[in-house]
Amino acid sequence: MAGYNELRGLRVKYLSADPANPEDGQVWYNSTTGNLRVQGIGVGAWSSGSPLNTGRGYLSGCGTQNAGLAFGGNPPTGATEEYNGSGWVIGGPLNTARRQLGGSGTQTTALAFGGTSGYPLVRAQTEEYNGTSWSEQNDLSQARYGIGGAGIQTATVAWGGSTTPADTGQTSTEEYDGTSWTAGGALNTGRYATGSAGTLTAALAFGGRDPTPAKTATEEYNGTAWTTVPATLNSARFSLKGFGTTSDALAFGGEAPPGAAVVDTERYNGSTWTTDSSLATIKKGMAPGGNTSAGFAAGGGPPAPSLVGTEEWNFSSTTITAAAWSSGGNLNTARKPLSGAGTQTAGLAFGGFPTNNETEEYNGTSWSEQNNLNTGRGSGTGFGTQTAAVMAGGHNAQTTTENYDGTCWTASGALSTGRRYLAGAGTQTAGLGFGGYAPPSPAGIANTEEYGGSSWTAGGNLSPSTFASAGVGTQTAALKMGGAGAGSPGPTAGTDVQEYDGSSWTTGGSMLSANKSNQGSGTQTAALTFGGNTTGTLNMGYDGTSFSTRPSLTTGRTYFAGFGTNTAAIAAGNNPAAAITEEFTGATVTTNPASNLSVS
Amino acid sequence: MALFIYGTATNTGKGFFTAEDRRNFHLRGFPGDVWVIGNNEKGAYWLAEKNGVEKTKAEAQAIVDAKVAEAQAAWDALPEEQKTDMNPRPTQITLP
């Protein structure tokens, strides 16, 4: 057996204290504590990722954790979504809507085959994805659903499945070369809804059904024939998913007995299956992607309702803590629609509909009452910091502007155009107010005004005019997300996004869903937008180019205050008037600490 | 096994649910202090720890319906000027 010296090219050091910056995997002896120590032992675990836009089960997937693809699903759909490791965005739909289909390849070179569009429509159709759209290719020789598959777009093996509602498990195997399917060696155990891993010349099939009971059998394919290996799953199941290789694979989720989805995860090392860290949520028929170092499982069921959730698998010496919302301290005064400014640990909430003048400061734990606004009002905009904030405009269509200095509010120069439901960005000495609404006109306001601390001057107009949008950023790099009146008559929610450069607005990447009365946090190139009239709990992130999903709010809300950054945000208040607060914390990566090694 | 647990619990603010809770189980809040909780060990423990009261789905839905009806009545009583605002009449919520 190779020793540490041979493996690492290092000797085990004899030290009186742990080294300051040990390398991952470094081993040393701590003579003070008398322990043999190692830095960052790798462990595998599932953590929550961002949700799919459309919850569904019996879908397929491929790719990697940072470039994944999910497609198809139940009810039969062609919906396709792309994952970047942070969130899902909509891709081009399959030409043939279906569920229980097979999948292989990458996010930009994927293959979809087989499935069912609802009995008796069992499919043989094959489609290739190029990162934008699916195109039809030559069909499988045998139409089937619950089909297994592994490989890349130009070299895929497909096996098993069922051809009829009688749920008879098939043994037939077909190989795809990028153009057409040809027959391969037959499975030893006919079945459908197996787990899949590997490549065309080194594939792994495990579990499945025929139709009952659930299987534990594992077979390996060498490009010609299947061999049943001695190793069997510890947990018999079907509609499980997998990824990896014939020497290092993961099997997770599934169903056994019928109607009972499971969280079980097992890892295969080429000879045995060993139980590993469980999924957080029972699920079957998910979209899988990745490998045993970094993968994902998106959507799935138990049978109904379908799940939107994504779980990410990571095996490393670092621990990834997924982003999430948590409850914050409740406002002392429940209200809507209030304004806010500042950060998650130094926040400010003020005003509310119709004439609320309360001001509260947040310290990251609780809200405390402060001196009131001079003019109580809601529906204005707020920006700045806890000690240098601005409230401008408000119900009904006010021009009123007030500055907060950390203690008191003082009247400042009025907006040129009175309005409510405007958005804002920036600081007390370099602020921005844009869009809004002045009843009874049903149209939004296009005007942008720039604030210098005491007076407003005209900036570039929004196009299209908008009200009730989210605004973040600075006076010279602002972002408007969604809102009403954007590109459609009347107060209809829009997906429109505009970026301001200090003089004019230009169109940015569209939001994933139309929204209004949503709030935002962050900057023009690292923003969040959350809540709103049409989506409630939806949370999206923006990187300056495009949007992707983020973990959802716990309570859907509208007409609330939102502020902070894209990794530390606050949502406070709600409609009807409420005091509830949520805090968003972005994902973090930490290195596992050094631990003792036991020597036997 | 059912996918969700339904219950009522008062949101006491900071710490009522944590980021770890959100990662451990599904959690959604609805009017009437109704919570829809992922049906796993940690979800069930959370509801108990918060002195929550487990409800059937029908019971939870009835609580939400009553709160929505209350909000609709409040909206109906608003001046017409406010109804033409961006403030839409609260709509029915169906629990998952």
Looking at beta carbons, which residues of chain B come within 8 Å of A585? 19
What is the C-alpha separation between A104 and A117, in angstroms, rounded?
A: 19
- Is the pLDDT at B82 greater than 80? The verdict is no
Does the residue A600 lie in any domain? no
- pLDDT at site A488: 47
DSSP state of A418: -
Does the residue A382 lie in any domain? yes
Query: Which pLDDT band holds residue A600 (cuts at 50, 70, 90)?
Result: very low
Q: Which residue has the higher pLDDT, B38 or A25?
A: B38
List the structure tokens of B60: 């939870």
Which residues between 254 and 283 in chain A have a beta carbon less than 8 angstroms from any beta carbon of chain B? 260, 263, 280-282
Does the residue A598 lie in any domain? no
Residues A180 and A198 in one domain: yes
What is the C-alpha separation between B24 and A48, in angstroms, rounded?
A: 8
Does the residue A375 lie in any domain? yes
A281 closest CB neighbour out of B38, B74, B96: B38
Asked if residue A130 lies in contact with residue A88, where contact means CB atoms within 8 angstroms, the answer is no
Residues A343 and A490 in one domain: yes
Alpha carbon separation from A419 to A155, A246, A398, A400, B72 (Å, rounded): 61, 64, 5, 9, 27
Mean pLDDT of A280-298: 93
**Domain hosting residue A28, numbered range:** 4-39
Query: Which pLDDT band holds residue A328 (cuts at 50, 70, 90)?
Result: very high
Mean pLDDT of A450-477: 95
Asked if residue B92 lies in contact with residue B39, where contact means CB atoms within 8 angstroms, the answer is no
Task: Tell whether A315 lies on the interface with B, counting CB pairs under 8 A.
Answer: no
Residues A34 and A97 in one domain: no
Report the DSSP beta bridge partners of residue A244: A249
Best residue in A47, A263, A281 for a mutation probing chain B (most B CBs within 10 Å): A281
Residues A393 and A476 in one domain: yes
Task: Tell whether ipTM is more than 0.90.
Answer: no
- Is the pLDDT at A486 greater than 60? The verdict is no
Alpha carbon separation from A333 to A107, A374, A406, A574 (Å, rounded): 48, 17, 19, 11
Task: Tell whether A305 lies on the interface with B, counting CB pairs under 8 A.
Answer: yes
Map tokens 């759909």 to a residue: A77
Domain boundary among A287, A306, A322: A322
Domain boundary among A322, A343, A367: A322
Does the residue A188 lie in any domain? yes
Residues A401 and A532 in one domain: yes
Q: What is the pLDDT of residues A363-389, one digit of tens each?
A: 999 999 999 999 999 999 999 999 999
CA dihedral A220, A226, A231, A235 (to 10 degrees): 90
- Is the pLDDT at A40 greater than 90? The verdict is no
Best residue in A555, A570, A574 for a mutation probing chain B (most B CBs within 10 Å): A555
Q: Which residue has the higher pLDDT, A134 or A494?
A: A134
Does the residue A590 lie in any domain? no
Q: What is the pLDDT of residues B2-35, one digit of tens each?
A: 778 999 999 998 999 998 898 888 899 999 999 9
What is the C-alpha separation between A211 and A238, in angstroms, rounded?
A: 10
- pLDDT at site B26: 87
B29 closest CB neighbour out of A324, A555, A585: A555
Residues A81 and A177 in one domain: yes
Give the closest residue to A193 by CA, choosing from A63, A74, A69.
Answer: A74
- pLDDT at site A8: 60
Which residues between 354 and 413 in chain A have a beta carbon less than 8 angstroms from any beta carbon of chain B? 354, 365-366
Alpha carbon separation from A283 to A211, A239, B2 (Å, rounded): 19, 9, 12
Q: Which residue has the higher pLDDT, A516 or A153?
A: A153
Residues A473 and A452 in one domain: yes
Residues A353 and A376 in one domain: yes
Distance (Å) from the alpha carbon of A204 to chain B's nearest alpha carbon: 30
- Is the pLDDT at A535 greater than 60? The verdict is no
What is the C-alpha separation between A421 and A575, in angstroms, rounded?
A: 15
Mean pLDDT of A296-310: 83
Residues A105 and A231 in one domain: yes
Contact A324 B19 (CB under 8 A): yes
Give the closest residue to A192 by CA, choosing from A209, A217, A204.
Answer: A209
Residues A72 and A203 in one domain: yes
Looking at beta carbons, which residues of chain A come within 8 Å of B36? none
% residues pLDDT > 70 (chain A): 94
Q: What is the pTM of this model?
A: 0.74
Does the residue A595 lie in any domain? no
Give the closest residue to A325 by CA, choosing from A538, A86, A470.
Answer: A538
Question: In 10 A of CB A99, how many CB atoms?
Answer: 23
**Pairing of the two strands A273-276 and B27-30:** unpaired
| Chain A residue nearest residue B69, CA to CA | A576
Contact B17 A322 (CB under 8 A): no
Does the residue A594 lie in any domain? no
Residues A427 and A570 in one domain: yes
- pLDDT at site A304: 62
| Chain B residue nearest residue A310, CA to CA | B23
- Is the pLDDT at A489 greater than 50? The verdict is no
- pLDDT at site A485: 77
Contact B28 A580 (CB under 8 A): no
Q: What is A318-333 written as a DSSP string?
A: EEEEPPEEEE-PPPSS
| Neighbouring residues of A102: CB distance < 8 A, sequence distance ≥ 6 | A60, A111, A112, A113, A114, A115, A147, A148, A149, A158, A161, A196
Domain boundary among A297, A322, A347: A322
Query: H or E segment at A248?
Result: none
Asked if residue A450 lies in contact with residue A483, where contact means CB atoms within 8 angstroms, the answer is no
Q: Give the total number of structural domains in chain A.
A: 3
Q: A2-16, A141-155, A168-182, A467-481: which has the minimum mean pLDDT?
A: A2-16
Best residue in A327, A363, A377, A466 for a mutation probing chain B (most B CBs within 10 Å): A327
Phi-psi map region of A299: left, alpha, beta (phi>0 left; psi -120 to 50 alpha): left
Residues A340 and A224 in one domain: no
| Neighbouring residues of A441: CB distance < 8 A, sequence distance ≥ 6 | none
The angle formed by the CA atoms of residues A113, A119 and A125, to the nearest 5 degrees, is 20
Residue B59: is it exposed, middle or buried by C-beta count within 10 angstroms (0-12/13-18/19+)? Answer: middle
